Amino acid sequence: MPIRNYGVLKGRVVRGIAEHHERTPHYEILVDAAGVQFRVAVDTRSNDHGRPDLLCACDEDFRHTLTDRLATVGDGFHPLGAGAGLDYVRGGFVERGQMRVIPADLPGPDNDLNEKVGRWVDRAAADASIALYVFGGRWGPEPERRDAIFGFLPGNGLHDVHMNQGSPPGRHARDNGAGQDGAILFHLQGEDRWIALFLAFQSQSWHTDERGDVTGLRPIEPFADDPPRHHHHHRHGRG
């Protein structure tokens, strides 16, 4: 069964907060979309104890026909029908070979997932001309509940900002679906340059059928330069 309320959010970054001590931490982004506030919950660590670190590809000069379509979208959340969104396996957006295992936190500069996401979030927060686009599943609005991180009312946001197919049999397999993967994109309008961040869990397979389910039940194969396999996801996110 596909994830609920899949679509794309366009807005402006207000600020970001990296969680460091939660069991399944997220990088939380406060977004303003035409006066409506959203929280984007980006998974940075999995609850798979064997392989807690996520796979990430950061393309700092992303070129795809998708960007032409996104540039015409107005601020706000736009629902996308079944199969109408991103598909890592079939869409030509990213290849498995581009993705690397990246821990949530490491000492040193620009070597962990919080820094990969935070670098562009901070830049966008400082420059209102940079537009943010996030693909994922929406929750809310929750009229009686303030947002758990930023405190705005009504609570409202996006999660599942990662690959949403290829999960093996188990509790996350129910979210499998084709054409419903998550991602984060920044449009640097002054440079007419796009930055794209693609995320996946190590447990997810790139061998999927038209329903997004694993074919042959083969987990993704580690690449030669991936670190040893250590493993996934949600307090409005996947833990």
Per-residue pLDDT of the chain (239 residues; tens, 9 = 90+): 589 999 999 999 999 999 988 888 999 999 999 999 999 999 999 988 889 999 999 999 999 999 999 999 999 999 998 778 999 999 999 999 999 999 999 998 888 999 999 999 999 999 999 999 999 999 999 999 999 999 999 999 999 999 999 999 888 899 999 999 999 999 999 999 999 999 999 999 999 999 999 996 555 444 434 443 333 333 444 54
Coil, strand, or helix at residue 174?
helix
Sorted by where each begins, the domain ranges of the chain are 6-200
Q: Which residues of 4-14 are buried (b: 16+ CB within 10 A; e: fewer)?
A: ebbbbbbbbbb
* Whole-structure pTM value: 0.90
Pairing outcome for strands 6-18 and 76-79: antiparallel
